[in-house]
Amino acid sequence: MKKKLNLGVRILLGLVLGIVVGAIFWLAMGADAAGSFTAKYIKPFGDIFVNLLKFIVVPLVLLSIMDGVIQMGDIKKVGKIGWKTIAYFLVTTAIACVIGLVVASLFKGSFPMLELAEGAEYQAKSANLMDTIVNIFPNNVINPLSTAAMLQIIFIALIFGCGVLVAGEKGKLFGDFIISFNDVTQRVMSFILALSPYGVFALMVWVVAAQGPKILGSLGLVLLAAYIGYTIHVVLVYSMSAKIFAKMSPVTFFRKIFPAAAFAFTSTSSVATLPITKECCDEMGVENDISSFVLPLGATVNMDGTAIYQCVAAIFLAKCVGIDLSLGQMITIVITATLASIGTAGTSGAGMIMLAMVLEAVGVPTTYIGIIYGIDRLFDMGRTALNVVGDASCAVCVHAWEGSKVPQKKQKA
């Protein structure tokens, strides 16, 4: 019997083929024609796949967190895992901000002085810390589910999951229903995941055909700075975490998480990648109740890649408009970017909105976000992949901290 290629290999093939086909379109038709053609006839297939993922994300996040809390069986265990998870995310995000600032500062002297095209302006929505805190607590149950307000959905899942545990025997029937409903949701998710190589292919054809090498042009340095920051963080921070805390080989960790990272790179949505991240953590031996709790939470509040991007972009844009940031302003960026990244939705393009908050904190006009808005997707691809790897590293570490050994190798059948 012919052995079927695993999901990771199929996603990689879709990624590579998408790049090749997109480059052929770009060379044969030119950027404008290729971008228009692929956006009209090829990208919609990728959009359908992403829509299906978004369709399953709300019930998946709600039910998996509730299931994870219920399966723990002890309200004290929920609190213990919760604070460890949040502490890990906050520390790694703060480190990401420092890495982003250091790398951007090294590149600052080479950043180009750009001018906005006449009339160009990007209207960004501002945000602040208190708004983020207040918005965690919903005033009704239905609205967060219909609008996919992830922070509110997580709050609902946590409070109802804890309610089941506290209710004891009286809550058992509802708990059994949630566990059963979650199993059904996981089956639906597997149907959708089978389409992922085709979705990745369609999205990559469109990105490469529409952007082409010209998009790097004068913005190549800032893009390079961001990706150097991403690489340093993923290699040093996550490698050290896997090795020191989970006693797991970094090579094994990165090999196991690759399918999720590859999909995150193309979909630019850590929430949409959640089903694949869950499968990768299962492959690494992370207990279901831990991954069901940590991963959905991380998809919403863990945004290391977004933090690096915000720091690099803030220094770049400050240089573009002639502002020389002081040490105090850079510290402000670290604090603001850390808090802003926690409130960033795990959906494509959300980092641009939160960047406005960071820019306002250091006096850079948000209008100038328009300079890099055109290539934001190229930043977004790397930062989303980094975010997803960070979610998985947290799950592996929490699993180890709870006294379970992460398997180094999986025996072949």
Model pLDDT, residue 4:
66
Give the mean model confidence (pLDDT) for residues 391-412: 72
Q: Alpha helix (H) ranges present in 108-171?
A: 129-134, 142-147, 150-167
Average pLDDT, rounded, for the chain: 77
Work out the pLDDT band at 7, boundaries 50, 70, 90. low
Q: Which of 210, 261, 267 is nearest to 48 (CA)?
A: 267
Q: Give me the pLDDT at residue 323, please.
A: 74
The reported pLDDT for the residue numbered 123 is 35
Is 64 a residue whose pLDDT tops 60? Answer: yes
Torsional sign, CA 64, 69, 70, 71: positive
**Residue 44 to residue 1: CA distance in whole angstroms:** 35
Run of H or E including 280:
helix 274-283
Find, among 61, 9, 7, 1, the residue nearest to 185 by Cα. 61
Buried b / exposed e along 338-356 (16+ C-beta atoms within 10 A): bbbbbbbbbbbebbbbbbb
pLDDT range class, residue 407, cuts 50, 70, 90: low
Q: How far apart are CA 267 and CA 270, in angstroms?
A: 8
| pLDDT tens string 182-234 | 889 878 877 887 888 888 888 878 877 876 655 445 567 888 889 999 999 98
Q: How far apart are CA 208 and CA 231, in angstroms?
A: 22
pTM score above 0.85: no
Query: Which residue segments constitute the domains of the chain, with CATH numbers given?
Result: 7-401 (1.10.3860.10)
Contact criterion met (CB below 8 Å) for 214 and 46: no
